[in-house]
Amino acid sequence: MTATWVTLEEAPLTRESLAALLENRIPAIRIRGFADGAECAAFARAARAGPIKYYSVTPPVGYIGMAQYEYRWDRPKADYFHAVAAANHNLGQVTIASFDPIARLIAQLAAVHAAPVGIGQEPGLGAYYAGIIRLASQGIKLHADFAPLNSPAYSIGRIDAQLAWNFFAEDLSDGGATIVHNAPWSPEVEPGQIPQSYDLPRAAVAGATTFTYAPTAGDVVIFNSRNPHEVMGGPADQGRDRIGIGSFIGRMPDQSLVMWA
Task: Give how many domains the chain has, as a whole number.
Answer: 1
**Does residue 9 lie in a domain region?**
no
Within a domain: residue 26?
Answer: yes
Please report the pLDDT score of residue 234 as a whole number.
67
Between the alpha carbon of residue 203 and those of residues 111, 150, 183, 206, the distances in Å are 39, 20, 10, 5
Examine residue 2 and state whether it is found in any structural domain, yes or no: no
**Which pLDDT score is estimated for 193?**
77
Average pLDDT, the chain: 92
pLDDT recorded at residue 173: 66
- Residue 195, in any domain of the structure: yes
Considering the domain boundaries, does residue 7 fall inside one?
A: no
Task: Tell me the CATH number at 148.
Answer: 2.60.120.620
Tell me if 38 is assigned to some domain: yes
| Confidence at residue 236, expressed as pLDDT on a 0 to 100 scale | 58
Looking at the DSSP bridge assignments, the partners of residue 198 are 143
Q: Against a cut of 0.75, is the pTM above it?
A: yes
Q: What is the pLDDT of residue 28?
A: 98
- Whether 65 is in a domain gets the answer yes
CA distance 83 to 86: 6
Q: How many C-beta neighbours within 10 Å does residue 207 have?
A: 7
What pLDDT is recorded for position 195? 86
User: 1 lies in a domain?
Assistant: no
Supply the range of the domain harboring residue 238.
Answer: 15-260
**pLDDT, position 32:** 98
CA distances, 165 to each of 50, 51, 82, 185 (Å): 21, 22, 25, 18
- Ranges of residues in the chain whose predicted pLDDT is under 50: none
